[in-house]
Chains A and B, each alone.
Chain A
Amino acid sequence: DADVTQTPRNRITKTGKRIMLECSQTKGHDRMYWYRQDPGLGLRLIYYSFDVKDINKGEISDGYSVSRQAQAKFSLSLESAIPNQTALYFCATSTNPGTGELFFGEGSRLTVL
């Protein structure tokens, strides 16, 4: 089983719908992240959390929200999805304090029509 698990792996939805992407990890890491990948833009950080009571905005947080339900769970929500949120989303974890090395999930491909 993967150490960092994302669900769903693929999702097609319509504009205006609420979407939740979930991430769970068995690595025991304190730090969790949500990144978005778009062709030619690399990975951009949406939100990150250094522990259960800590939530921080990344560089592209508008239109997204997160919830850190437990050390092992970090979910990303799109309250009202729009087409330009079509992308591949990755959850990642790292140790605390650590070196910054990230351990990635398999990715969630979201298409907003």
Chain B
Amino acid sequence: AQSVSQHNHHVILSEAASLELGCNYSYGGTVNLFWYVQYPGQHLQLLLKYFSGDPLVKGIKGFEAEFIKSKFSFNLRKPSVQWSDTAEYFCAVNAANAGGTSYGKLTFGQGTILTVHP
């Protein structure tokens, strides 16, 4: 079974600072990778996803993530954060075949709370 670890529980930044949130997973086979965001009081929304191809994927609102297979990592980045990025961010993984079709259920990391001060 796969597992996901997010390194930081709470990150506090000022506006315009750069962001990198760490995510590592444990699974020896092919995976699909996701970052979800949960704004205060709201449900989870997809930020970006990786199935195959270019390991650098771009999502909504200027976020990007890089899949490094050798490190089992899928870190989330944003060059310049805004106050409106304040939210909780979840990394998730599921096992898949080479074509990106999932084998089953998604496993989530513990989440990282991002607070951005104006």
Partners in one complex: yes
What is the 8 Å Cβ interface bit string for chain A, positions 22-48, against chain B (1 contact, 0 not)?
A: 000000000001010000111111001
With contacts defined as CB atoms under 8 Å apart, how many contacts are there between chain A and chain B in the complex? 61
Number of interface residues of A (CB under 8 A): 22
Nearest CB in chain B to that of A31: its residue: B105
B-contact bits for A72-96, CB 8 A (1 contact / 0 none): 0000000000000000001000100
- Contact partners of A33 in chain B: CB under 8 A: 105
A43 / chain B contacts, CB cutoff of 8 Å: 44, 90, 108, 111
| Given A40-B9, A43-B90, A107-B43: A100 and B106 interface contact (C-beta under 8 Å) | yes
By a CB distance below 8 angstroms, the chain A residues around B104 are 100
By size class, the interface of chain B is: 20 to 34
* Contact between chains at A90 and B102 (CB < 8 Å): no
Residues in A with CB closer than 8 Å to B94 are: 100
Main secondary structure of the interface of A (DSSP, over half): loop
B43 and A90 contacting across the interface, CB-CB below 8 Å: yes
Interface residues of B in 27-85 (CB under 8 A from A): 32, 34, 36, 42-46, 49, 51
Q: Which residues of A contact B90 (CB under 8 A)?
A: 42-43
Contacts of B49 in A (CB 8 A): 99, 101
Give B residues with C-beta under 8 Å from A.
Answer: 4, 6, 9, 32, 34, 36, 42-46, 49, 51, 90, 92, 94, 96, 100-102, 104-111
